[in-house]
Amino acid sequence: MNLLRAFDPAMFDRLESFRVTDEALMPEEYRIGHRPLHDDWSILRSTTRKETARRVPLPFKGISGKFKKEWMLWDMSYPTVPLTPIEYRDVWTEHGTFNLPHALIDCAVEDSGWSAFAVYLDGKWVPCFKSYRRITESRIFGKRRLAYYSGGLKFDSTCSVRADGSIRSDQMGWWEAPTCSWNKVAA
């Protein structure tokens, strides 16, 4: 039995048809061998990223908590939820200005406490993960960001611009164990 399935067996099974089996569909960073394992996890560090990749339509939708809409650089080759607002916007880089697609997505407000997201599956929104985000401050530890993500399906909407103006994308749904971090915030 896959240990990651234990966090939400029904959702894990429902997402099996979205499992990435073709190496060419993995984000470049993981496909070319730089980071094939989840070695950034505290446990299950030998789990391959391919094992947790789910090519579900993005973006996710905020369903509870505080959210703001943000325009994010977008990989149009990745499955996109129907009716997602897409605009071409200028992106300024050291290599020039490029007019590239952006999607309007829901982002949890930085210091908002609990929020929940849903994934678009089979024509409807299905709850898939919760997060907690809070900024704390103390004399001993300074200003820190406390972040907790429930186990389940998370998403990565990270895209960047290459020197030739093409998009390098990490877009993917990821089945993950619960994670918690308490990182220093720059002053």
Could you read off the pLDDT tens digit of each residue along the chain, which spans 187 residues? 477 788 889 999 999 999 999 888 988 877 765 665 555 554 555 567 788 899 999 999 999 999 999 999 999 999 999 999 999 999 999 999 999 999 999 999 888 899 999 999 999 999 999 999 898 888 888 899 888 888 789 999 999 999 999 999 999 999 987 888 888 887 6
Helix, strand, coil shares, percent, the chain, to 5: 15, 50, 35
Domain positions in the chain = 3-184
Q: Are 85 and 70 in contact (CB under 8 A)?
A: no
Q: What does the pLDDT look like over 6-41, one tens digit per residue?
A: 888 999 999 999 999 988 898 887 776 566 555 555
Indicate the pTM of the whole model. Answer: 0.85
- DSSP per position, 158-183: -EEE-TTSPEEE--EEEEE--EEEEE
Which amino acid does the sequence have at 170? D
Q: If we measure between CA atoms, which residue out of 104, 69, 80 comes closest to residue 173?
A: 80
